[in-house]
Structure 1
Amino acid sequence: MKWLLQLAASSAWNRRFALSLVVLCIGLSTFLLLAIERIRHDVRQNFAQSVSGTDLIVGARTGSVQLLLYSVFRIGNATNNVRWSSIEAISRHRAVAWVIPISLGDSHRGFPVIATSQAYFQHFRYGNRQALAMAQGARFDGVFEAVLGSEAARRLGYRLGQRIVLSHGDGVLEANDHADKPFTVVGILAPTGTSVDRSVHISLAAMEALHLDWMAGVPIPGMAVPAEQVGEHDLTPKSVTAALIGLKSRTAVFAVQRSIADFEDEPLMAILPGVALDELWDVVGAGERGLMAMSALVGVVSLLGLVAVIMAGLNERRRELSILRAIGAGPRQILLLLAAEGALVTVAGIVIGASACAFAILLLGDWSQTQFGIALRLQPYGQQEWMLIGILLGGGWLASLLPGYRAYRLSLVDGLSPRI
């Protein structure tokens, strides 16, 4: 068998230019398959780790996926707000351990603003139940103080003590800026790899202070409230966008969920983050399958190219095969020779593709996290990756059997009537 592999390697080297193109095609298909699988896995992991330790998310009645998207990932908008009195009533439920109120709607230079309470820093968890940590500074304490996520601070070049102006809504119109009430950056959070990194955090009182002289999304004419006078007003929030809830015991989750669904003062809903994430993946599953199908198509085309190159060179190699027959090689050995050659080409392509994928993850992992919030990590291959590699390797070997069988037939004919 060793001499057969050496002979197959030498034969392939003599036709290295044509076979190198096939190797590159197989490498490209391997790269695409492994990269898409890694991106799919890491995107799911990043989404799943965005909130940890939260038992329920409460908001106005809407779709569970929509509530998850705007409350955790800052994507989309709420259909309605939740009255503050309702949040207080829920927090008094005997099974509720803590409540993190969240108020959304403002932004700063494209980054979402989230108003919350100190409970956010105490109880919010991400990843493997990791707590938020300050990279610089401290939590907000005064009304016009802000804590930035790591990505927001880095991309905007902000430092502690810098003054920033928030905007109402998406901040597209300059008239929606809250220029009369600037904030001071007092803290910058450590990176988390979640939507927290792309958020600007202020207090609920600050959100209320910003909108004392606003109504229905526009400033009230002639009713400007200067920043130094906001302390004269009641800054208790009237409503919030959503709330994250932690329970004393997870066994009570369904009982509390039903209690919130039956809440009499206003229509509310409570969702389990894990269940909503599964629904989200059902929605985007078609896109995942489409990407995998495209990668598989590239793989099939590469293997067909392998068959075409070997088949096209068979007539030119009849003299070579005849000589091998003359020195004692049997038809089955000719078949094994071409099968080994196809396997070597496939292995070379897989090694190149897998190495390129690993290098790309090492090179672009940090960039992907900063640009798209997707932390790509170089990890040992899982069951899915090894299965894809096995399929490619088996497909390459099977693809080489067709030209191998053709060579087998030719060697029989040429063995009986050699053309030398």
Structure 2
Amino acid sequence: MILLRLTGRSIANRWATALLTVLALAVSIALFLGVERVRTGARTSFGSTISGTDLIVGARSGGVQLMLYSVFRIGNATNNMTWESYRDIAGQPEVAWTVPLSLGDSHRGFRVLGTTEAYFEHYRFRGGQKLTMRAGEPFSDLFDATLGADVAETLGYKVGDPIVVAHGLGAIGFTRHEDMPFRVSGILEKTGTPVDRTVHVSLAAIEAIHVDWQSGARIPGQSTGADAVRQMDLTPKSITAALVGVTSKLKTFKLQRFINEYPEEPLLAVLPGVALQELWSLIGVAETALAGVSAMVVLTAVIGMMAAILSSLAERRREMAILRSVGAGPGTIALLTVLEAALLSLAGAVAGTALFLTGLAVAGPLADQAFGLYLPFTLPTAREAAILGIFVLAGIVAGLFPALRAYRISLADGMTIRQ
């Protein structure tokens, strides 16, 4: 207890240097904890883009590619699956529900997704949350469109506004379906997933706007009016992919094997969790690099603390001489130096945690709103607490070198014969 009091008074005598040292340590540990929380938050947000879906089915390609274009709206399918195959799979006894997906069109840079009402009923994200409406209702008419939150916010749409879908992808659609405009029927609440950047229409609507099209181009001289299209059979000939839920988790692999060996056409069924894990492993290098950079920042701060303690030893020779004169040995002087490093490290860890939690409280909701990055405001997790413990331990270890230096200085001064 006496040693702690002596260490505290020694630090108080050099409060400006100590304060700057603690501040440097706090900023570095807050940065490291922030990177760790962003890393885990990104992984969680990434993995919670889709939940409750047992299989994703599409034309045979790669599992990651199928996940990218069907869930994240990135890239395009190499091929479509026929409607007959989709209906056959949907009719299997293991299947509880299905959601067909049709991609290929866009609206001012945002993807257009053709689907059915089952999409709003069965699509889940972030641990089982359902899609909810901010305004209006999901599409019900042939030319209704339901917008994701980012689409409505970026383009300034509200319920009742007309929109025109363009053929193909790109921010500027040169081939637009102007003869069959849509009406905004509803706007979804923000989800922090690709749903926010999607324009949702019915499968029948996708067929309707392509009545006068063949092989990706408009048929010259042919123009069918919207009223005439409503009287047609708009059953799709093919779809891009499908989300599938099974009646029992035990039947998932049986259904997956049936689809992967489907005799009518080459299809692929992937488990979302497996595909997400494979996808994350591909981009995990950047995550590791970021964690490495923040670790170097912490290491630099610890080395800075060690340098600050070393530089103060020359100023503290008088202090050490007084302690020696009252009976303190060189080992006690060294122990005081180690205790100083421990107290500074502990103060830096506490201040860094407080700074981290303050930043999390302010930036967490903003990150969720702007980027869909879920950063929950919670006390440090077990992993983060372990990081703090390692940081304090590293500070103590870093204090051993100044302690050894103080031991030698104190020993030399104690052996000097003063006249």
- TM-score past 0.5 threshold: yes
Change (3 A) 1:140 1:355: same
2:412 aligns with 413
1:173 aligns with 172
TM-aligned CA deviation for residue 204 of structure 1: 0.4
Aligned positions of 1:329-340 closer than 5 A: 329-340=328-339
- SS at 2:370's partner residue? helix
- SS at 2:152's partner residue? helix
Question: Is it true that 1:142 corresponds to 2:135 in the alignment?
Answer: no
How far apart, in 2, do the equivalents of 1:181 and 1:27 lie? 59
Q: Identity over the aligned pairs, expressed in percent?
A: 47
2:90 aligns with 91
TM-aligned CA deviation for residue 395 of structure 1: 0.3
1:355 aligns with 354
How far apart, in 2, do the equivalents of 1:8 and 1:170 lie? 67
- SS at 1:225's partner residue? coil
Deviations along 1:27-73, one digit per CA (max 9) or x if unpaired, are 23212221111111111211222222111100111111111122112
Q: Which moved more, 1:223-232 or 1:115-124?
A: 223-232
TM-aligned CA deviation for residue 419 of structure 1: 7.2
How far apart, in 2, do the equivalents of 1:396 and 1:418 lie? 35
C-alpha contact (below 8 Å) 2:108/2:172 kept by paired residues: no
TM-aligned CA deviation for residue 219 of structure 1: 3.0
C-alpha contact (below 8 Å) 2:167/2:173 kept by paired residues: no
C-alpha contact (below 8 Å) 1:151/1:370 kept by paired residues: no
How far apart, in 2, do the equivalents of 1:391 and 1:275 lie? 33
TM-aligned CA deviation for residue 347 of structure 1: 2.0
1:231 aligns with 230
- SS at 1:58's partner residue? strand
TM-aligned CA deviation for residue 94 of structure 1: 1.6
Question: Is it true that 1:52 corresponds to 2:51 in the alignment?
Answer: yes
Deviations along 1:369-397, one digit per CA (max 9) or x if unpaired, are 23322122212222210111111111011
Change (3 A) 1:302 1:419: farther
2:345 aligns with 346
Question: Is it true that 1:73 corresponds to 2:56 in the alignment?
Answer: no
C-alpha contact (below 8 Å) 2:159/2:185 kept by paired residues: yes
2:278 aligns with 279
Q: TM-score, normalised by structure 1?
A: 0.94
Change (3 A) 1:175 1:221: farther
Give the letter aligned to residue 78 of structure 1: A
Aligned positions of 1:383-398 closer than 5 A: 383-398=382-397
2:399 aligns with 400
Question: Is it true that 1:10 corresponds to 2:9 in the alignment?
Answer: yes
Give the letter aligned to residue 8 of structure 1: T
Give ranges in structure 2 of 5+ residues lacking alignment. none
Give the letter aligned to residue 149 of structure 1: G
Question: Is it true that 1:367 corresponds to 2:366 in the alignment?
Answer: yes
C-alpha contact (below 8 Å) 1:171/1:177 kept by paired residues: no
State the aligned residue count. Answer: 419
C-alpha contact (below 8 Å) 2:191/2:372 kept by paired residues: no
Q: Which moved more, 1:345-354 or 1:60-69?
A: 345-354
Q: CA RMSD in A?
A: 2.0
Give ranges in structure 1 of 5+ residues lacking alignment. none
Deviations along 1:73-98, one digit per CA (max 9) or x if unpaired, are 22222121111111011111121111
How far apart, in 1, do the equivalents of 2:418 and 2:382 lie? 50
TM-aligned CA deviation for residue 418 of structure 1: 7.0
How far apart, in 1, do the equivalents of 2:209 and 2:166 lie? 10
Give the letter aligned to residue 304 of structure 1: I
